[in-house]
Amino acid sequence: MQPTSPTTRCYCLLALVMGVLGGCAAMNKQECLVGDWHSVGFEDGAKGINVTRIADYRKACAKYSVAPDLDSYRDGYAQGLQSYCQESNGFRIGAGGGRYQGVCPAALEEQYLQGYRPGRQLFEMRAAVDYTGGQLSATRNELRENRKLIAQKQMALIEEGTPTEQRVLLGTDIYKLSKQQSVLEGDIVALQRQLAARQDELDRFRSTLAFEPR
């Protein structure tokens, strides 16, 4: 496996932030009073939300003197987990960069992880390809700018009326930019190789997957 790239870390941070935001449960008065707690539990379980979410509902509904039906919620939650803790769903979540919160019961966890692990690996390998592609694009842009500067300074160097002192400075700048150009060209070759290797690794991994990547 390749080391986790900055892009991967960014994706992971985004997934974590979204998870934290998703942990904030707000229920209005009508929702608390109607309180189909079995359905609420099922929906939370089917989304892989931690069962401790019920504590948020309890706090929200306490303002309206309503207490959640804990048994009904847990029963619905357990049924929801039956849907969530499937191998195919684990793959989907892992491939999307989602984090597993350890919610699956022991009897279902391994089948979920059998999908989640390769899905997560696929996500990280895709992120590595994207990151290297981004580096390559940025370096190519930098090289184009470098070449433009060299061309501009070369034009200024041969212009009539350019003072001798300025010609000396322009020559020095051109020399430095030319050295930088050589470095950038070398970086591009290295990045192209790295990108090809990572793409090949990704393609080979995709061919081993039980589920069709999206």
Domain coordinates of the chain in residue numbers? Answer: 6-84, 125-206
Residue 48 above 70 pLDDT? Answer: yes
pLDDT > 70 in the chain, percent = 87
Residue 13 above 80 pLDDT? Answer: no
The Cβ of residue 37 has, within 10 Å, a number of other Cβ atoms equal to 21
Question: What pLDDT score does 27 carry?
Answer: 83
Which amino acid is residue 97, in one-letter code? G
**Helix or strand (DSSP H, E) at 83:** helix 70-84
Question: What pLDDT score does 210 carry?
Answer: 84
Q: Tens digits of per-residue pLDDT, 89-138?
A: 999 999 999 999 999 999 999 999 999 999 999 999 999 999 999 999 99
Q: HSE on the CB side for 165, CA within 13 Å?
A: 0
Residue 188 above 90 pLDDT? Answer: yes
Token reading at 89: 């769903």
Question: What pLDDT score does 25 carry?
Answer: 57
The pLDDT confidence band at residue 58, using thresholds 50, 70 and 90, is very high
How far is residue 9's CA from residue 167's CA, in Å, rounded to a whole number? 47
Question: What pLDDT score does 16 carry?
Answer: 38
Q: Tens digits of per-residue pLDDT, 137-187?
A: 999 999 999 999 999 999 999 999 999 999 999 999 999 999 999 999 999
